[in-house]
Chains A and B, each alone.
Chain A
């Protein structure tokens, strides 16, 4: 269990960006099926690394390896310069690698502050009457949420009554407070509307501001491009694109995401259908596949 007195992360100064988490040629086999091959990924403090890919591209396998649910079969998984092999999520957490899953983030019927401290409750008093330090937990929750820019009317309200975006944000704030250095966000915007997605993106940016390395898994290139510093596009278990923000445009990203030739074909088909203004669609760039 994480204790509450873990040292808070200090925002990394610009420039000293040694990667916290590094994947070098990582591959994963499920029996004879090759799920991942030759994945290189750097996660630096204060940067958002976006992992994009269509369904089945290998995104979830990648998260599972980083978060300790699965082990890699090839290559190296390096944390703080040392190769590691994680056996469960707890080990990852102890290294400061926290995962916020889309559905498993919170207990809906419990109040916000109880959710925030769930599993790492603050207590006071000697054993037989050791009790929750409710005041301190509420205060801390309020402070931490404010620091992330989340403002709630009432910490007693069941977290299930919050919007999906707010719930994700509370889960992110919690991970940050409990000493996460690397935050893995598994499709946090997938089930959300435009406005709610905006809320979550804002908190991703806030987490980066606090010096965390963020791995942002998504299949929405627009969301990725709004906050990302580095983009990795997965396709059939391999990296199709691995580029810094300066080296790639949104069009390229979108194109890679959809698969260039497929999108071109789609555009052609759509052109036949009256009422679809093809000019409004992003330009297809036929970039060589890596």
Chain B
């Protein structure tokens, strides 16, 4: 190091010793596919499908597949919203009961006011979005981890669900609303069946696929999607370059609220009455579906297609075990194994990406 040397300014920065341009081409297709968050879920989905196809004859029927898809869809619509939230770096433990809250609100409001059920549907949407907004604001104002904040709102909603239902109906389930104005049209929107090639498929399956497409587009092709990844990947860096991190997180919580409303409306119009105690525990299935689909628990990484696949796998295992006539006592065990495998695949994929 010669101190007499002039500042390096004189020499323009040389290109780093002949950067090997050809490395791009060498990255094989498989290698690039491995970098996608949903690849683990895709492999698992194909494997689970082939497996049940082989062991359970009933599983091969088209109407059985429709049942699997339906199971996947009610879980999957929530899992989509939850996966976006997780990519944004947050959890929502109140997501499971929020579905029930929304259905209860719509049902009781319509019944108590003897109003058109669409009034209840509208108010339920406002309530669901408000729950999301409150979750988000609490998170930002308190600075506590979302795990704690949403745990509190989970417990509060659970209590409110029962207390208000008992207060208004003197029962733990809502009154049937299937004879009220607007029920038929609402059922057509939220809970009708569509016949595809002679198989009845619940409309939620199509919503599920449409929402997955929308979520993917938002994530990968819009500014907001960029902000979601940034907010979850590194909050401080995102803030430093001007990403409205707080706004992004609140919007994500409200997205979960919207999904809870949608699924709640489906449950209400599919099953006419709502039990106050339902939905507890589902929040973990949403998170599991998202994780199987490649979302990192630490945030900043994941995909909507992955969450779709995660919920689909969940539906397949859920119904497949019954089609195969296995002892259902083992169901939770298989779910646990799946989660473990999915997490290991994710870990491995992440290491591959980090190593490159």
Residues of A near any B CB (own CB < 8 A): 1-2, 48, 89-90, 93, 101, 104-110, 114, 117-121, 123, 130-132, 134, 148-154, 157-158, 160-161, 174, 199, 201-203, 205-206, 208-209, 222, 225-229, 245, 249-251
User: Are B9 and A132 closer than 8 Å at their CB atoms?
Assistant: no
User: Are B8 and A157 closer than 8 Å at their CB atoms?
Assistant: no
List 5 A-B residue pairs with CB atoms under 8 Å apart, sorted by A's residue number: A104-B237, A117-B226, A160-B354, A161-B355, A205-B7
Residues of B within 8 A of A160 (CB): 354
User: Are B14 and A132 closer than 8 Å at their CB atoms?
Assistant: no
Q: Considering only CB atoms, which chain A residue lies closest to B300 in the complex?
A: A109
B142 CB to nearest chain A CB (Å): 22
Contact code string B1-14 (vs A, CB < 8 Å = 1, else 0): 10101011101111
Residues of A within 8 A of B1 (CB): 222, 226, 250
Residues of B within 8 A of A123 (CB): 222-223
- Select the stretch in B161-169, B196-204, B240-248 that faces chain A: B240-248
A53 CB to nearest chain B CB (Å): 20
Residues of A within 8 A of B8 (CB): 201-202, 205, 226-227
Residues of A within 8 A of B237 (CB): 104-107, 118
Number of A-B contacts (CB under 8 A): 125
Residues of A within 8 A of B15 (CB): 149, 151
The answer to whether residues A153 and B19 also contact, given A110-B229, A158-B353, A203-B13 and a CB cut-off of 8 A, is: yes
User: Are B238 and A107 closer than 8 Å at their CB atoms?
Assistant: yes
User: Are B3 and A249 closer than 8 Å at their CB atoms?
Assistant: yes
**Which residue of A119, A201, A205 is within 8 Å of B238 (Cβ)?**
A119
User: Are A104 and B240 closer than 8 Å at their CB atoms?
Assistant: yes
| Whole-angstrom CA separation of A250 from B355 in the bound complex | 39
Residues of A within 8 A of B28 (CB): none
User: Are B230 and A110 closer than 8 Å at their CB atoms?
Assistant: yes
Contact code string B187-223 (vs A, CB < 8 Å = 1, else 0): 0000000000000000000000000000001000111
Q: Considering only CB atoms, which chain A residue lies closest to B355 in the complex?
A: A161
Q: Considering only CB atoms, which chain A residue lies closest to B243 in the complex?
A: A119
The answer to whether residues A225 and B300 also contact, given A203-B13, A206-B12 and a CB cut-off of 8 A, is: no
A121 CB to nearest chain B CB (Å): 5
User: Are B233 and A229 closer than 8 Å at their CB atoms?
Assistant: no
Known: A104-B234, A106-B237. 19 other contacts (CB 8 A): A101-B240, A104-B236, A107-B233, A107-B234, A108-B233, A108-B300, A109-B301, A110-B300, A114-B229, A119-B230, A131-B217, A131-B221, A134-B221, A149-B12, A154-B23, A174-B241, A205-B13, A206-B12, A249-B3
Q: Considering only CB atoms, which chain B residue lies closest to A222 in the complex?
A: B1
Q: Indicate whether B356 reaches chain A with its CB closer than 8 angstroms.
A: yes
Q: Indicate whether B21 reaches chain A with its CB closer than 8 angstroms.
A: yes
The answer to whether residues A118 and B230 also contact, given A107-B237, A153-B23, A251-B3 and a CB cut-off of 8 A, is: yes
Residues of B near any A CB (own CB < 8 A): 1, 3, 5, 7-9, 11-16, 19-21, 23-24, 27, 217, 221-223, 225-227, 229-230, 233-234, 236-238, 240-243, 300-301, 353-356
The answer to whether residues A110 and B233 also contact, given A89-B240, A123-B223 and a CB cut-off of 8 A, is: yes
The answer to whether residues A132 and B223 also contact, given A109-B301, A151-B16, A251-B3 and a CB cut-off of 8 A, is: yes
Q: Considering only CB atoms, which chain B residue lies closest to A174 in the complex?
A: B241
B291 CB to nearest chain A CB (Å): 16
Q: Which of B7, B11, B229, B236 has the most CB of A within 10 A?
A: B7
| Whole-angstrom CA separation of A223 from B117 in the bound complex | 72
Residues of A within 8 A of B7 (CB): 48, 205, 226-229, 245
Residues of B within 8 A of A149 (CB): 12-16
User: Are A119 and B242 closer than 8 Å at their CB atoms?
Assistant: yes
User: Are B233 and A132 closer than 8 Å at their CB atoms?
Assistant: no
User: Are B9 and A205 closer than 8 Å at their CB atoms?
Assistant: yes
| Whole-angstrom CA separation of A207 from B5 in the bound complex | 19
Q: Considering only CB atoms, which chain B residue lies closest to A150 in the complex?
A: B16
User: Are B222 and A130 closer than 8 Å at their CB atoms?
Assistant: yes
B293 CB to nearest chain A CB (Å): 16
Residues of A within 8 A of B301 (CB): 109
| Whole-angstrom CA separation of A285 from B326 in the bound complex | 85
| Whole-angstrom CA separation of A250 from B8 in the bound complex | 15
Residues of A within 8 A of B242 (CB): 1-2, 90, 93, 119-120
**Which residue of A104, A107, A174, A245 is within 8 Å of B300 (Cβ)?**
A107
User: Are B234 and A131 closer than 8 Å at their CB atoms?
Assistant: no
Residues of A within 8 A of B13 (CB): 148-149, 202-203, 205-206
Residues of B within 8 A of A131 (CB): 217, 221-222
| Whole-angstrom CA separation of A153 from B23 in the bound complex | 6
| Whole-angstrom CA separation of A135 from B13 in the bound complex | 27
B26 CB to nearest chain A CB (Å): 9
A77 CB to nearest chain B CB (Å): 21
Q: Which of B11, B13, B27, B355 has the most CB of A within 10 A?
A: B13
| Whole-angstrom CA separation of A157 from B32 in the bound complex | 10
**Which residue of B14, B223, B234 is within 8 Å of A121 (Cβ)?**
B223
